Amino acid sequence: MTSNAVPECLIDGQPANQVRVTDRGLSYGDGLFETLRVSQGSIALIDYHLARLQRGIQALRLQADIELIAEEWRDLAARMGAGVIKLTLTRGSGQRGYAIPADVRTVRIQQCFPPANYPEAHAREGIRLFSCATRLAHQPLLAGIKHLNRLEQVLARSEWNDPQYAEGLVCDIQGLVVECTMSNLFARQDGIWLTPSLAQCGVSGVMREYLMNEMRAHGEQVEEVELQHSALLNASELFCCNSLFGVWPIIALDRHQWPVGPHSRYAQALAEQVIK
C-alpha cells in the first residue's frame, strides 16, 4: 500500500477489517455510525455530521476523541477524492453483561466505499414510495441519533424487493409519519414545508437539518410537526433527502400521485450546492 492508497477499512487508525466478538457494538448495538459523502476530496456537511455524532456521544455517554475522527475523515476524503466513508464508533470490548466496564475503550472503525450508485432518474424524475407496515417505537432517549440499534429499519426495508420502489415510508407506533427507511421526508402544504418531528423516534438526517436551515435562510417557512398520514396525502409536493443522494422528489405513494414541483426542484438545487 502506498501512502496515498485508500484503505478499505481502518480500525483505530490501523488497516484491519475485523472486530473482536466481545465488542459491545456487536453484543448490544452499543455505538453510533455516520455515513459521509465524499466528493472532490472533501466531505459534504461535515459540520452537521460532527454535531450529530457529538449528540450521539452524549446520549450514549461514550468517550471519544471527536477531533481525531474529524481529522481522519478529512485525510481519508482527500485520498479518496470521491466515495463514501462509514464511521462506526462502538463502546469497545467488554465481557458478558450490560454494565459498562470501567476500563472500556471506544473502537473507531472507518470504512471506505466507492460512490453510491443510485439511478440518476431518481433525482430527475422522482421516485415511488413503498408503504411499510413496520412501525417505529417511541424512545425519546435514542430519537434523532444514529445509533447501531437498527432492527426496525432492517424489518421495514425487508418488506419490499420490487425495484419500482426506491424508498419506503415508515410511520410510528401511533400511525404518524416519521421518515423513510434511509432518508427524511418533507411535505409541502399551503405554501409551507412540513417535516415530521423526530422527538420520539427517527434519525435526524444531516441533509434534513441543512435544508431546514437553508430554506429558512432563504425566507421559506419550514415546520417540524406531528405529521398525519392524511396531511401527507394532501401535500402539494413531497420529497425525501439524505446526505448521499441529496433530494429525490416523491411522485407516488399507494394510489396517490404527485408531479415533481418547483419547490422540490429548489430543495434539490440547495442540496446540490453541498453534494456536487
The one among 66, 78, 173, 269 contacting its own copies by CB under 8 A: 173
Dihedral class, residue 191 (left if φ above 0, else alpha if ψ from -120 to 50, else beta) = left
Closest CA to 69 of 92, 85, 91, 45: 85
The one among 3, 14, 18, 40 contacting its own copies by CB under 8 A: 18
Q: By CB under 8 A, which span of 97-105, 215-223, 224-232, 235-243 interacts with its own copies?
A: 97-105
Site for its own copies in 215-274 (CB under 8 A): none
- ∠ at Cα 207 (206, 213), nearest 5°? 90
All residues at 6 or more sequence positions from 264 whose CB lies less than 8 Å from its CB, including other chains: 126, 188, 237, 238, 239, 247, 249
The one catalytic residue in 72, 167, 179, 237 is 179
Query: What CA–CA distance (Å, rounded) separates 16 from 9?
Result: 6
The one among 55, 74, 150, 256 contacting its own copies by CB under 8 A: 150
159-196 exposure pattern, b = at least 16 Cβ within 10 A, e = fewer: eeeeeebbbbbbbbeeebbbbbbbbbbbbbbeeebbbb
Q: By CB under 8 A, which span of 96-104, 121-129, 202-210, 257-265 interacts with its own copies?
A: 96-104
SS3 of 229, please?
helix
Contact status: 97 vs its own copies (CB under 8 A): yes
35 annotated active-site: yes
CB of 276 to its own copies, least distance (A): 20
Query: What CA–CA distance (Å, rounded) separates 114 from 232?
Result: 34
167 annotated active-site: no
C-alpha cell, 158: 425487508
Strands 127-136 and 107-113: unpaired
146 annotated active-site: yes
C-alpha cell, 4: 496515498
Contact status: 84 vs its own copies (CB under 8 A): yes
The one catalytic residue in 35, 88, 90, 181 is 35
The one among 138, 229, 256, 265 contacting its own copies by CB under 8 A: 138
Looking at beta carbons only, is 161 or 230 nearer to its own copies?
161
Looking at beta carbons only, is 4 or 98 nearer to its own copies?
98
Catalytic residue positions? 35, 146, 179
Name the residues that contact its own copies, by CB under 8 A: 9, 11, 16-30, 33, 35, 60-61, 84, 86, 88, 90-91, 95-100, 109, 111, 113, 116, 134-135, 137-139, 141-142, 147-158, 173, 181-182, 201
